[in-house]
Amino acid sequence: MSKNFKPIVIVSGDPYSIFYEIFFKTFKKTKFKSPIILITCKKKFFKHVENYRFNQKINIVSLDEINKEFSNKFINLIDIELKFSKNKKEKDFFINNYLKQSFAVALELIKKGISNKLLNGPINKKKFLKKKFLGITEFIASKFKEKNYAMLIYNKELSVCPLTTHLPIKLVAKNINQQEIINKAKIINNFYIEKFKYKPKIAVTGLNPHCESNLRINEDEIIISKAINKCFKLGINIKGPMPADTLFIRENRKKFDVILGMYHDQVLGPLKALYEYDAINITMGLPFLRVSPDHGPNEKMINKNLSNPQSLIKALNFLDKN
């Protein structure tokens, strides 16, 4: 193992995605101090090696050797069998088994202390999770029985954290409460202090347009405002609720490090419009670092050699420095 650098464990994710393309582009452009352990299907990986003329050295590691030390001089590959079928139901079944095995090996490496850094490639959540979990964030947190965690879409200039993640809009209001807002604000505050060595300036969006409601219940007043006041008394640098339609305007957003939003697209949409691929997905609150590129499998772009590796490069650089 490279001195002072634990390996970065990479689960390649959905085998029918743009991952291999952005992976090869990344490692042609960038070198990392941390050893790389790639958990993937060897057969599919080497098929793409030929397509993209990738010439970096590959070290095949058996599951019996996972306690060995790893070098950063080559990519250490752990092979997970992926069965192939033209039948759609069979194909989905094989993909699910492949992903389950991939994550099982990766999380075992984490639990044994061999690594404390996990990155997963894009995954079709609808096919893999099948309504058992809202997203990969929740899936991984469940494996460590963590209940206090949060998703951070991180950019150095501005990051966002959705209070609720992949919930349908009609369920959002029912899942907003004071304690959840306080918990997320604490997680953000602690994460920034631990990883970036400063206390973040946090803005909180309202739920309703302009933080107003003509209904009997206004969540912005009876839930969000009260939670923010409690956070402020805890020493968290936090303001709100603020209208989401103007919060992302340049003069407003530059006053904050993180925007805590009430639902997924309320904050992810504006951030992606501002920074496109220059952001990564970090799960805060876990006993290790877990990140992923901030985009999906994008099956329509497979084999077109047009996909942007920037988010994967950013994600690996973040793990490499921590």
Angstrom CA distances, 201 to 9, 149, 187, stand at: 31, 19, 13
> Does residue 125 surpass a pLDDT of 80?
no
pLDDT of residue 1: 46
Q: Quick one: tokens of 11? A: 């689960």
Percent of the chain with pLDDT over 90: 65
Q: How far apart are CA 116 and CA 303, in angstroms?
A: 32
On the question of a common fold for 1-146+286-322 and 148-285, the answer reads yes
Q: How confident is the model at residue 53 (pLDDT cuts 50, 70, 90)?
A: confident
Percent of the chain with pLDDT over 70: 98
Query: Which pLDDT tens digit goes with each residue over 176-185?
Result: 999 999 999 9
Where in the chain are the domains? Answer: 1-146+286-322, 148-285
pLDDT of residue 4: 59
Domain 148-285 has CATH 3.40.718.10: yes
pTM of the model: 0.91
User: If one looks up domain 1-146+286-322 in CATH, what number appears?
Assistant: 3.40.718.10
Query: Which pLDDT tens digit goes with each residue over 166-213?
Result: 899 999 999 999 999 999 999 999 999 999 999 999 999 999 999 887
Query: Which pLDDT tens digit goes with each residue over 112-121?
Result: 999 999 999 9
- Find the DSSP H helices in 112-259: 125-129, 136-143, 169-172, 178-196, 219, 225-233, 244-247, 250-253
Query: Which pLDDT tens digit goes with each residue over 222-274?
Result: 999 999 999 999 999 999 999 999 999 999 999 999 999 999 999 999 999 99
Q: Quick one: tokens of 280? A: 């990564």
The predicted model gives 69-97 an average pLDDT of 90
